[in-house]
Amino acid sequence: MSSPPNLSRLTFTKISPQSDSHLFSLPGELRNLIWEYVLIPYNDPSRPYPSSTCYARPDFYAPLTSSVALLRTCKAIYSEAWYLPWTTAELCFYLTVDVRRPPRVETVGNVQKALDHLHNTGVDTTINHVRVFAQLCSLEDGMRLQYILNMKHFKPRSITVTIRHTDFWYWENDETLRVGGQWVGACRFPETVEKIKVEFESLERKKSQVDEIAQQAVERWGFCRADGRKLSAVTGKTEDGKVEGEMTVLRWTGSSTWEGLRWIRDEVEQGKLNYYVKTVTWRVKREQERRDEGEVDNLVVVANDPPITWGIHQHQNALSNTGRQRSLAATHTKPLSLNICTTTEEELGPSSRSSNPSNTKTSEFGCKAM
């Protein structure tokens, strides 16, 4: 949501029992499910984000809003559901520079005020989902993420950390993908967290790099809660001993223009980029699983380990030789040319892009001024 819900618990001297309402003849538990369903946040179609931004993406095409008009229907509904815009909300934090996030975003200060208010009125501050979009330069030491996790009365059930294509180190230069793992070992998550997801996103042509990073994350990353409980992504092993994890894949197509530049180096068609996203899920280790699998502390990434880079064929040797080396890197692939001729805005037509080379401009990063 663009800001935390403005919540107030109003006290009414008289509330109609709504005895003639079929809705209020339902059990309270069922009514509560209906209120939750109605108040689930959604993208506001009247305020779409510009497509030429790195924050316009699936499920985030516009600021999130909620059908809070439900609470103005009658006092009875308000009394039962006034706090639900909080519990059904998806809080979204951006650990990024200003141009990589929407104009209005949550801040720790504003969210803390909402948490304090709910706690002081006796409401459970549990929230279903929190998402963090993070540039690696703001994520890898873990300090800014931990600042969010340290909020008082903060009780998320699940947390998703999204690393977008433009959040990777030196994506402009088409460098090999790499992710430092210091934050994994440094951060302690609230004890209410049952699930942590990390989304690794890059271009479709870098699918093999994303796949390898995700696989290494399954094998070598383990998160820890403040109460000491561990979260693991490992679900089993194949017959040949390869570790398996809970992973899903998303593909989507977005604009190739960002901050007035068109990244023709990466285009699959005019004005479009194909993205590949692999999500790894970590879940709380149950006691029986801990006993069956033995010590799980070695899953936690050690802080201050430097990033490492290797090729796909050295992968197994690197795993056995690096010891406590815990950061991740993907397969090395030869970068595309960085010295690419680009056209002016007036030449965006299909036939004119290559028909007038005298008017082309060269970009260091293979992008074009718009």
Contact yes or no for 18/35 (Cβ under 8 A): no
* The total number of residues written for the chain in this structure: 370
Q: Give the CA dihedral 346, 348, 354, 355, nearest 10 degrees.
A: -50
Backbone angles phi, psi at 92, to 5 degrees: -135, 120
Task: Name residue 192's amino acid.
Answer: T
Backbone angles phi, psi at 334, to 5 degrees: -65, 125
Can you give the pLDDT at residue 321?
42
What is the Cα–Cα distance from 260 to 172, expressed in whole angstroms?
Answer: 14
Contact yes or no for 247/222 (Cβ under 8 A): no
Residue 187: which of 145, 152, 156, 221 has the closest Cα? 145
Can you give the pLDDT at residue 280?
98
181 CB-side CA count, 13 A: 25
Can you give the pLDDT at residue 15?
78
The tokens describing 60, both together, are 């985030």
DSSP three-state, residue 35 = helix
Can you give the pLDDT at residue 322?
40
What is the Cα–Cα distance from 275 to 253, expressed in whole angstroms?
Answer: 6
**Model confidence over 324-353: pLDDT tens digits?**
334 455 433 333 333 333 333 333 344 433
Can you give the pLDDT at residue 6?
56
Can you give the pLDDT at residue 25?
87
Q: What is the CA radius of gyration of the chain?
A: 24
Residue 223: which of 307, 151, 285, 290 has the closest Cα? 285
Report CA-CA distances (Å) from 354 to 266, 341, 351. Answer: 17, 9, 7
Can you give the pLDDT at residue 4?
53
Q: Which residues of the chain have pLDDT under 70?
A: 1-13, 287-370
Contact yes or no for 35/81 (Cβ under 8 A): yes
